[in-house]
Each structure stands twice: as C-alpha cells, then as structure tokens.
Amino acid sequence: MTIERTLSIIKPHAVEKKIIGKIFDRLECAELTIIGCKMLQLTLCQAREFYAEHQDKIFFQNLIQCMISGPSLISVLEGENAIQSYRQLMGATNPIHAISGTIRADYADSLTENAIHGSDSSISSTREINFFFSCYELFSKKYQL
Ligand code: CMP
C-alpha cells in the first residue's frame, strides 16, 4: 500500500458553476482524504510560476487568463495511490477524450477550462503542494512527510 499526496485545483470557472461539493463528493467516495484546503485567486505571478513548464506552449496565455479569472479551490488529497487515483477520477486533460463519468467529461467547458488540475507525478505533487501549503496547513493522521 502506497499512501501518497496530490494537489487538486478546482479552477475558477468550476468554482463559479458551484460544483465544488459535487467534486469533493466524488473524491471522498473514492477514499481520497482532504487534508488541506484553501480558496484563493491566483495572481498573474503565481499562475505563471505554477505553470512555468508550459510557458513556451501556444495555450499558455489562455491558461493563465483562465487561472487568474476568479477564485480557485486548492486542496491536498491523501490516500492510497492518490496521484493516479485522482487522475483517473479527473479523466483526460482534453474533455473530448475524457471517459464518460469522469469529472472532466461531466464538468469541463473546454481544453483550457477543464474544471480541475491534479498533479501528474510524485515530483510534481511535492512541488505543487509546497507551492501553496506549509506543513502547518496539512492535517494527516496517516503519514508524516
Ligand atoms: P492542467 O491539468 O491544469 O495542466 C495544464 C493545463 O494546460 C491543462 O490542465 C489545460 O487546462 C491546459 N492545456 C493543456 N494542453 C492544452 C492544449 N493543447 N490547449 C489548451 N490548453 C491546454
């Protein structure tokens, strides 16, 4: 059994659509535990730094505009194989390719406004969790970093 942590962002357009509860219900039903959570509106600087790996991509400006357009709900999830487990719940990045019943298939508006973000590896999850949270903001009974 591998207990992992992963970062989840419910993107501004999904917060606006009032689907936080629906998304949290799905992940808690999948045995992912929310061990930290905050709502914040990313600054331009934060968004550009968080998504720096995509800075040369053609979609970068649209992605940044989407991410600073309103508050996001940012959380840390913990559970068995949490990274892969959350990615399965999310579905493919492009909602056109997302399997029916996944979060993106049900709630994404477009490839950029694809409802949620989740870390894609353990290296990313460590970086992304540390980007938004200090250890004092995480509440775990299972696993101490
Ligand atoms: P996310 O999981 O937040 O990680 C990077 C984001 O970039 C992705 O979700 C999409 O919102 C966006 N993205 C990835 N690929 C493309 C693309 N080809 N065109 C537009 N946006 C993209």
pLDDT tens, per residue, the chain with 145 residues:
799 999 999 999 999 999 999 999 999 999 999 999 999 999 999 999 999 999 999 999 999 999 999 999 999 999 999 999 999 999 999 999 999 999 999 999 999 999 999 999 999 999 999 999 999 999 997 765 5
Mutate to test the pocket of ligand 1, among 111, 116, 124, 127 (most ligand atoms within 8 A of CB): 111
Query: Could you tell me the residue ranges of all domains in the chain?
Result: 3-132
Q: Class for domain 3-132, per CATH?
A: alpha beta
Is the C-beta atom of 84 inside 6 A of ligand 1? no
Give the per-residue pLDDT at 33. 98
Picking from 44, 6, 2, the residue whose alpha carbon sits closest to that of residue 124 is 6
Picking from 4, 1, 73, the residue whose alpha carbon sits closest to that of residue 32 is 4
Strands (E), the chain: 3-10, 33-40, 72-80, 116-118
Is the C-beta atom of 117 inside 6 A of ligand 1? yes
Give the per-residue pLDDT at 145. 53
The ligand 1 atom nearest the CA atom of 51: 5
